[in-house]
Amino acid sequence: MSGSVEVQRRFDHAGMGEEATRRRRRGGEEDDEEEEDEDERGMEAWERAYADERSWEDLQEDESGLLRPIDTKTLVHAQYRRRLLQKSAASAASRIQKGLIRYLYLVVDLSRAASETDYRPSRMVAVAKCAEAFIREFFDQNPLSHIGLVTIKDGVAHRLTDIGGSPESQIKALMGKLECSGDASLQNALELIHGYLSQIPSYGHREVLILYSARNTCDPGDIMETIKNCKNAKIRCSVIGLSAEIFICKHLCEETGGSYTVALDESHFKELLLEHAPPPPAIAEYAAANLIKMGFPQRGAEGVIAICSCHKDVKIGGGYTCPRCKARVCELPAECRICGLTLVSSPHLARSYHHLFPVTPFNEVSSVVPFKLSQKLAQTCYGCQQSLLSHGSKPAPHVSCPKCNQRFCLDCDIYIHESLHNCPGCESHRGSTT
Amino acid sequence: MNAASAPSKLYSDDVSLIVVLLDANPFFWASSAAAAGDSASSHHPTTTLPFSKLLNHVIPLLNSLLLLNQLNQVVLVATGVNSCGYIYDSGDGGGGSACGSVPAICSEILRRLEEFVVKDRLQGKSPDKVVATGVSSLLSGSLSLALCYIQRVFRSRARHPQPRILCLQGSPDGPEQYVAVMNAIFSAQRSMIPIDSCVMGVQHSAFLQQASYITGGVYLKPQQLDGLFQYLSAVFATDLQSRNFLQLPKPAGVDFRASCFCHKKTIDMGYVCSVCLSIFCKHHKKCSTCGSDFSQGPTDANASSDRKRKTSEVQP
């Protein structure tokens, strides 16, 4: 139904052309509401309420056929557990190492397809918003890694930013260049990145993450050749599609060891994107183990005036001094502009350790049978002291740590594994500490 | 990924949630009490105080925190040698019989603390005897508990009190807890929870210096422990809003240099293994922690036979 309305509206626009847009512009100044109406693919207000909220999706049938709201908490938890177990199973199967020092190029497709409005307000804006969150999360989880941005537009790939370590400058560059037109070209993007990534040191993990809106690729040559080159250069290519599964993307990811996923909607897209933030399992021969020379600079004393090498500006106090060439840099981690030494501080290294020593997944406690036994043990979550009894004396679903046998509520379970990376039970018992 | 960190930052004005981590390490306080006896006889300025005196300073602090705002909430967590545990929660059982009356709170705290110390000692007895000298408290455990508790408060209400953590630490740092403590610090930083620390030991605590520096809390090592309450009430009692108007102790220069795994020397420049991020002061042929081979060319990185590595030596 909304389709026919849309056709009608489009027809109107074509017919009235100039006048309609002029009228709209004038109206927009007075009434933002009206402007929005036009943007929302010409849906009526009542239609939009249903399309946006999708209230029926929050309902499910129970065993007796009654409609009930979905218990989102247990659903979210089940989803999270699946992911966690998958992750731990993968790392247990073969002692997989993590690629902690990553050089990643994020490719944003700004072709004509990115202006589609199936994501609100458009694919391009939705992608940019998620990309911002991703870049922040990426640097939070991989403080020693680098990211660069590439856009595809009008059939050519363009490097937006040099590969670097500062999230702010990357985000700023991306937000300033949000215009879309023309066709997408996978090959051009890969060729461009291949050229840049072949220069990085051998210990780094080379990765490309493509956020692909288009359903086609407009290439100047044989893309199979390019994919082969990427494979030889040990570049791990991953694609997140916004429209439909495309063979060439799948082929690219399979060949280079990346992952190919297609998003269903905006929240799913964000989820898929953020899955790329933790370091991927390292493929043994992809990056040679190496000793990297690093400097651990001390913070400069307050009140000392120095010229920093990164902004070429006079700064008072703060800053760090490169231990090799004594140049001043403003923030860590960075690469010394003068001598090229990697400058880090010890917390940056410590931030990555939790990837190497993850908390063991907790076991779900079947809430029916053995609770009577355990009732003497604990009725509250060990972490947050929340009661584990839900209504009355019925036990709520909870989990227990296999090492220290303490019980935790579902919220603490998620917090412990996703953010804290410590088991409070194990940490507060001497002997079981790692 | 950031689903676990607080999604909304709707703080109620001026209402604070203070989680106090009290170091209840008998080894430290016993030595402290002994030293206090010595120094009293030789007229030295007191740099140590016994545990009972400490409580004389801490319990009034808790009471004054509660008095500052009717809605303030105080949670006391004890950091022991063998275990950690919740001692007191002012928000717990709000309608309790004697709740609010100061003597009742005091006796409650003292009773629970006594229980905790006894239990802590019993837990330590069952495994092999621990060496009595220089035993550290389980700071990582109590920090983790505090963070879990604060997350619960974040979840429970849309408008929640502004949380902060206050560490009252006496015993020295336990190097084996380094990774766990750092994990807790980073998690606190993500959720914007400042960690204040008051160190009563002889040495500065490198852990707490970093914790306060990274999370934007206050680090203080009082000169005169006699007047501890004065320090505590002047520096740590005010809510985060009012802190902007106070001249609080300046963050001390925190040394972020690393020490190498091989000789434990603090170094300016060193080599870091690209696989496990171990730090060495000179070039090695093979990583001693993960076993990676650093000879030229692509090597079989899977050769790492022993991925278990001592995490303790990462201490800066």
Nearest to B277 by CA among B309, B300, B240: B309
Q: Which domain holds residue A17?
A: 2-51
Residues B39 and B158 in one domain: yes
> CB distance from A401 to chain B under 8 Å?
no
When CB atoms are compared, the residue of B258, B300, B304 closest to A346 is B258
Please check the confidence at residue B10 and state whether its pLDDT lies above 70.
no
pLDDT recorded at residue A167 = 84
Higher per-residue confidence, B12 vs B72: B72
pLDDT at A133 (0 to 100): 92
Q: Which residue has the tokens 């400042």?
A: B194
Pairing between strand A156-164 and A102-109?
unpaired
Q: Do B3 and A433 touch (CB under 8 A)?
A: no
Highest-scoring range by mean pLDDT, B87-96, B192-201, B202-211: B192-201
State whether A167 and A309 are in the same domain.
Answer: no
User: What's the pLDDT score for residue B92?
Assistant: 72
B283 or A185, greater pLDDT: A185
Count of structural domains within chain B: 2
Q: How far apart are CA A236 and CA A281, in angstroms?
A: 11
Dihedral, A306, A310, A313, A318 alpha carbons, nearest 10: -40
A337 close to B (CB below 8 A): no
Do A145 and A159 touch, CB atoms closer than 8 A?
Answer: no
Flag whether residue A357 sits within 8 Å of chain B, measured between CB atoms: yes
Partners of A414 on chain B (C-beta within 8 Å) are 3-4
Contacts across the A-B interface (CB distance below 8 Å): 233
Instruction: Assess whether B184 and B281 both reside in one domain.
Output: no
CB B185 within 8 A of CB B219: no
| Contact residues, chain B, for A288 at CB < 8 Å | 297-299, 301
A301 and A411 both lie in a single domain: no
Residues of A in contact with B77 (CB under 8 A): none
A174/A194 same-domain check: yes
Residues across chain A: 434
Asked if residue A372 and residue A243 are part of one domain, the reply reads: no
Task: Give CA–CA dist B307/B304, Å, rounded.
Answer: 6
- Are B128 and B172 contained in the same domain? yes
User: Which residues in chain A have Cβ-Cβ distances shorter than 8 Å to B300?
Assistant: 284-285
CATH number at residue A272: 3.40.50.410
Please check whether residue B260 is in contact with residue B267, taking contact to mean a CB–CB distance below 8 angstroms.
yes
Q: Which of A302-306, B58-62, B290-294 is modeled with the greatest confidence?
A: B58-62
Judgement on whether residues A219 and A311 belong to the same structural domain of the protein: no
Interchain pair A350, B83: CB under 8 A:
no
Residues of chain A with pLDDT > 70, as a percent, come to 76
Asked whether residue A245 falls in the same domain as residue A315, the answer is: no
Beta carbons of A428 and B273 less than 8 Å apart: no
More confident residue, A54 or B71: B71
In angstroms, the Cα distances linking A348 to A296, B197, B214, B240 are: 10, 22, 11, 27
Angle (CA) B118 B123 B126, round 5°: 130
Domain co-membership, A142 together with A282: yes
Task: Specify if A341 maps to a domain.
Answer: yes
CB-based contact, A428 to chain B, within 8 Å: yes
Residues A135 and A249 in one domain: yes
Q: Give the end of a domain, one of B196, B215, B243.
A: B243
Each residue of B130-144: pLDDT tens digit?
A: 554 457 889 999 999
The minimal CB distance from B2 to the residues A137, A301, A424 is found for A137
Q: A121-153: b or e for each residue (b if 16 or more CB lie within 10 Å)?
A: ebbbebbbebbbbbbbbbbbbbbbbbbbbbbbb
Final residue of a domain: which of B183, B214, B243? B243
- B183 → closest Cβ in A282, A296, A421: A421
- CA nearest to B290, candidates B272, B301, B311, B306: B306
Which residue in B281, B280, B279, B304 sits closest to B292, CA to CA?
B304
**Ranges of residues in chain A whose predicted pLDDT is under 50:** 1-40, 93-94, 369, 371, 374, 432-434
Nearest to A83 by CA among A361, A334, A321, A333: A361
Same domain membership, residue B196 and residue B265: no
In a domain, B3, yes or no: no
pLDDT at residue B310 is higher than 50: no
Residues from chain A that touch B155, judged by Cβ atoms under 8 A, are: 411
- Clarify whether residues A298 and A333 are in a common domain: yes
B193 shares its domain with B294:
no
- Do the domain assignments include residue B91? yes
Structural domain includes residue B4: no
| Residue A337 token pair | 């502009």
Do B29 and B84 reside in the same domain of the chain?
yes
Residue B58 Cα distances to B21, B92, B198, B229, angstroms: 11, 20, 11, 7
Look at residue B268 in the predicted model and tell me its pLDDT. Answer: 84
| B162 and B309 belong to one structural domain | no
Q: Could you count the other beta carbons within 10 Å of the beta carbon of residue A36? A: 13
A416 interfaces chain B, CB cutoff of 8 Å: yes
pLDDT at A119: 85
Q: Give the count of domains, chain A.
A: 4
What is the per-residue pLDDT for A1?
41
User: In this structure, are B122 and B181 located in the same domain?
Assistant: yes
Question: How confident is the model at residue A53, as a pLDDT?
Answer: 65
Q: Which of B193, B207, B277 to mutate to test the interface with A (most CBs of A within 10 A)?
A: B277
Q: Which of A274, A291, A349 sits opposite B314 (nearest CB)?
A: A349
In a domain, B251, yes or no: no
Residue B239 and residue B316 share a domain: no
- pLDDT score, position B308: 33
Q: How far apart are CA A176 and CA A197, in angstroms?
A: 24
B70 and B205 in a single domain? The answer is yes
CB contact under 8 A, B82 and A137: no
Domain end call among A315, A332, A355: A355
The verdict on residue A106 lying in a domain is yes
A325's tokens: 């060439």
**A231 and A112 within one domain:** yes
Q: Are residues B229 and B93 in the same domain?
A: yes
3-state secondary structure of A132: helix
Residues B299 and B181 in one domain: no
pLDDT of residue A286: 61
Q: Assess if residue B131 is contained within a domain.
A: yes
Give yes or no for residue B99 having a pLDDT over 90. Answer: no
Q: Looking at the structure, do residues A139 and A242 belong to the same domain, yes or no?
A: yes
pLDDT 10s digits, B112-132: 999 998 888 887 765 555 554
Asked if residue A381 and residue A253 are part of one domain, the reply reads no
Task: Give me the domain span that covers residue B66.
Answer: 12-243
CB A343 within 8 A of CB A294: yes
User: How far, in Å, CA of A105 to CA of A157, rounded?
Assistant: 12
Task: Please write the tens of the pLDDT for every residue from B245-266.
Answer: 888 887 666 777 777 777 777 7
**Residue B183 distance to chain A (closest CA, Å):** 6
pLDDT at B36: 65
B235-245 average pLDDT score: 88
pLDDT class of B313 with cuts at 50, 70, 90: very low
pLDDT value at B8 more than 50:
no
